[in-house]
């Protein structure tokens, strides 16, 4: 199945190349050009989705919209990437929702601990009313949010040796986190020591500042963590998400027909990327295990303990930040089998 998906991806990229080349030789040229900047890991997953998008948009607009995928392996910060798209230096990007949360704070609701009960629940939220509401919130900040992607899915915490097997193990654990204040609040509540820093794992570990760092399986081998970790703590405490966004001024100037094509193609690309992230995560997990890295699953009983422990945290800190967005997300957890489960909130 994986080889088939890679073959289909290669075929899609090849078709995009020939379509673009043939169009360029007829002397007309595209009416609109989209430069899509990719500057974050895992770059291969992003490239596959972006090329799918490029091919589909070119085909469905009859060559009137040409998408140029720009992979910058120097790695701009998320702040730089967002600023460049807002300023029109690039028309599109795929970037971290943690970074977009600095632009529109409500997006940090997606970082809440144990708010998602698996991938199916997350899909319903991201594709549903809550997801649309969060994407729409970017419109006041020069961006048009198109869809959500994974960038790896549920978070794990690799460490140089420390295992997290029960709630008490978090006490004193120094963990590098992203920029979201949600992560800082959560880990402090558990007694851990969050280190919010743009510096890489190696630099922080060398200075004795951390014991481990948040990441995802697909991102594990794209960073120096794979060389420094003896343990991967599979905590699944939150989702690491990205989003596809486009410069709003550029998007609004497009014909409505092209806007709809772009939005639809982005949603399909997002579905492709999310599944690729899940598949790649399982591959990386197996590879790490085969290489002798210890995989530590936080037991379900301990996850339930943590969920009970953090109810006051939700009530005192997170509900004032996000309000009924929390309940809307939790409600989707039970939308498939409402008659079989009791809807329980953290409030």
One fold for both 2-151+239-286 and 157-237+291-333?
A: yes
Angle between helices 129-136 and 324-333 (to 10 degrees): 150
What's the whole-number mean pLDDT along residues 277-298?
94
pLDDT tens, position by position, 28-81 = 779 999 999 999 888 888 899 999 999 999 999 999 999 999 997 667 888 999
- How far out from the chain centre does Cα 82 lie? 15
Apex 343 CA angle, 116 and 169, nearest 5: 45
- How far out from the chain centre does Cα 208 lie? 28
Backbone angles phi, psi at 125, to 5 degrees: -70, -50
Q: How far apart, in whole angstroms, are the C-alpha atoms of residue 156 and residue 225?
A: 12
Q: What would the two tokens of residue 269 be?
A: 């690309």
Query: Residue 27: pLDDT above 80?
Result: no
Q: For residue 236, what pLDDT is reported?
A: 95
pLDDT tens, position by position, 303-346 = 999 999 999 999 999 999 999 999 999 999 876 554 444 444 56
What's the whole-number mean pLDDT along residues 178-196?
94
pLDDT tens, position by position, 157-178 = 999 899 999 999 999 999 999 8
Q: Which residue has the tokens 């702040």?
A: 79
- Closest to 219 measured CA to CA, from 294, 287, 284, 163: 284
Instruction: State the chain's mean pLDDT as an integer.
Output: 87
SS (H, E, C) 135-168: HHHHHHHCEEEEEEEEEEEECEEEECCCCCCCHH
Q: What would the two tokens of residue 211 be?
A: 């014991």
- Closest to 54 measured CA to CA, from 266, 256, 267: 266
Domain edges within the chain? 2-151+239-286, 157-237+291-333
CB 256 within 8 A of CB 132: no
Q: How far apart, in whole angstroms, are the C-alpha atoms of residue 301 and residue 261?
A: 46
What CATH superfamily is the domain 157-237+291-333? Answer: Bacterial extracellular solute-binding protein, family 7 (3.40.190.170)
Q: How far apart, in whole angstroms, are the C-alpha atoms of residue 36 and residue 334?
A: 37
* H-state helical runs in 146-245: 181-190, 201-206, 217-220, 225-228
Q: For residue 14, what pLDDT is reported?
A: 41
Q: What would the two tokens of residue 123 be?
A: 């899909």
Q: For residue 200, what pLDDT is reported?
A: 67
What CATH superfamily is the domain 2-151+239-286? Answer: Bacterial extracellular solute-binding protein, family 7 (3.40.190.170)
CB 102 within 8 A of CB 138: no
Residue 99 vs residues 174, 180, 226, 255: alpha-carbon distances, Å: 22, 8, 24, 29
pLDDT tens, position by position, 91-136 = 999 999 999 999 999 999 999 999 999 999 999 999 999 999 999 9
Residue 325 vs residues 110, 123, 139, 184: alpha-carbon distances, Å: 10, 16, 18, 20
Confidence of residue 204 (pLDDT cuts 50, 70, 90): confident
The helix (run of H) or strand (run of E) holding residue 97 is helix 97-103
């Amino acid at each position: 199945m994986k080889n088939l998906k890679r073959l289909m991806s290669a075929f899609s990229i090849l078709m995009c190349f020939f379509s673009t080349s043939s169009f360029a030789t007829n002397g007309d040229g595209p009416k609109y050009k989209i430069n899509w900047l990719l500057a974050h890991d895992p770059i291969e997953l992003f490239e596959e989705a972006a090329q799918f998008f490029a091919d589909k948009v070119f085909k469905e607009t009859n060559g009137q919209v040409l998408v140029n995928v720009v992979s910058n392996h120097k790695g701009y910060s998320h702040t730089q990437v967002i600023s460049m798209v807002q300023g029109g230096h690039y028309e599109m990007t795929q970037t971290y929702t943690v970074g977009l949360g600095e632009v529109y704070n409500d997006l940090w609701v997606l970082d809440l601990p144990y708010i998602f009960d698996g991938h199916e629940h997350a899909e319903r939220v991201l594709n549903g009313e809550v997801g649309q509401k969060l994407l729409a919130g970017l419109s006041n900040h020069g961006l048009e949010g198109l869809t959500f992607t994974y960038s790896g899915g549920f978070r794990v915490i690799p460490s140089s040796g420390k295992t997290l097997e029960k709630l008490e193990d978090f006490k004193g654990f120094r963990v590098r986190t992203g920029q979201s204040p949600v992560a800082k609040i959560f880990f402090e509540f558990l007694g851990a020591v969050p280190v919010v820093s743009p510096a890489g794992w190696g630099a922080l570990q060398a200075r004795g500042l951390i014991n481990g760092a948040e990441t995802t399986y697909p991102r594990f081998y794209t960073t120096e963590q794979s060389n420094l970790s003896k343990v991967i703590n599979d905590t699944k405490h939150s989702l690491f998400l990205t989003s596809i966004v486009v410069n709003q001024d550029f998007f609004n100037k497009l014909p409505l027909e092209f806007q709809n094509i772009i939005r639809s193609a982005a949603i399909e690309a997002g579905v492709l990327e999310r599944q690729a992230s899940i598949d790649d995560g399982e591959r990386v997990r197996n590879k790490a295990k085969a290489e002798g890295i210890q995989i530590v699953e936080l037991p379900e009983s301990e996850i339930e303990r943590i969920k009970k422990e953090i109810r006051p945290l939700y009530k005192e800190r997170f509900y004032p930040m996000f309000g009924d967005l929390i309940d809307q997300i939790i409600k989707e957890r039970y939308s498939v089998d409402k008659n079989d489960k009791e809807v329980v909130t953290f409030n």
